[in-house]
Amino acid sequence: MESKIAKALKLKFEPVAIVWSDEKPEDAVQFKEGQWGCVMWMLARAAKGDVAAFSRKTFGCQGGGTGLGFGNLYEKWFLGGFEGFCYFLSTGYEQWEKGKKLLEGMREKLGKDRFEKILHGERYIKSPELVKKFVEQLPITEVPTEYVLFKPLSKVSDKEEPVVVVFIVNPHQLSALIILANYSRESIDNVFVPMGAGCHQIGIFAYREAESDTPRAVIGLTDLDARMNVRRQLGDDVLTFTVPFKMFKEIEENVEGSFLEIGTWTKLVKYVD
């Protein structure tokens, strides 16, 4: 499967299709069961040509498993359960008596950096109570298949239908995609940026849009940890732009005859690295 958009935008990285499947390709890379890893590492690998596979036992981390659509894993897998996650994302276990006891003797097992992060919290949300509200608003999903695959778009067969397609773009390319997403719509709010992890933004938020009659695109990679994790692979100037497959086909058809062939874009694209 090829993309007119990728060619017109002169994308550095290949678009990545997220596919739900009950079969795992033989050449797929995958986290080992119980191994910690960032889902966004696998996105970077797929953007460079690899196929990646995830299952309910090989999702990398709790946020990644949740973002991929394997249910609410904060309840099942996080140290201290869901309450522990609420303190982790906010004020830290040092503000939670039960949490401080859970961390006793865990420094070596968790490693210094991980231990300190849990102890002091990420401070991304002001309080544990607000973290609960945040999770309540996540479109928690249970995918109906055994695997979630990340595939370079060129490796998607005619028999497969992706759920969403992820573009990795710089600011010039992002600007063009925002215009393209609204190009043939009567409304002007066809792109949104939800608060969440990088994997939420390419996964469950976009999955929800895929169920809509008029799906929107999701801007992502605004997660600071995700940015830190992929900066060496992708660089410091990129974001993700994820579109449900239905919308992908719509905007692909709109390339011809659009601003991507004439005017300012033809001048600006010369500065796309």
| Torsion angle of the four alpha carbons 20, 26, 27, 31, in this order, in degrees rounded to the nearest 10 | 60
- On the question of pLDDT at 273 being above 80, the answer is no
CB 247 within 8 A of CB 217: yes
From residue 8, alpha-carbon distances to 26, 72, 166, 173, 218 in Å are: 32, 38, 16, 10, 20
Q: What percent of the chain has pLDDT over 90?
A: 89
**Contact between residue 234 and residue 208 where contact means Cβ atoms under 8 Å apart:** no
The count of C-alpha atoms lying within 13 angstroms of the C-alpha of 24, restricted to the half-sphere facing its C-beta, is 14
DSSP 100-128: HHHHTT-HHHH-HHHHHHHHH---SSS-H
Angle of the 81-89 helix axis to the 128-136 helix axis, nearest 10: 110
Distances (CA, A) of 187 to 23, 80, 180, 210: 39, 44, 13, 17
pLDDT band at 98 (very low <50, low <70, confident <90, very high): very high
Please give the pLDDT value at position 38: 95
Q: Provide φ and ψ at 71, rounded to 5°.
A: 90, -170
Given a cut of 90, is residue 78 above it in pLDDT? no
Q: What pLDDT band is residue 79 in, cutting at 50, 70 and 90?
A: confident
Instruction: Please compute, for residue 60, the number of CA atoms within 13 A of its CA located in the half-sphere on the CB side.
Output: 22
* CA pair distance 79, 85, nearest whole angstrom: 7
| Lookup: tokens for 147 | 């695997």
Angle, alpha carbons 126-127-130 (nearest 5°): 95
Q: What angle do CA 183, 185, 189 make, to 5 degrees?
A: 90
pLDDT of the residue at 35: 87
User: pLDDT tens for residues 139-193?
Assistant: 999 999 999 999 999 999 988 999 999 999 999 999 999 999 999 999 999 999 9
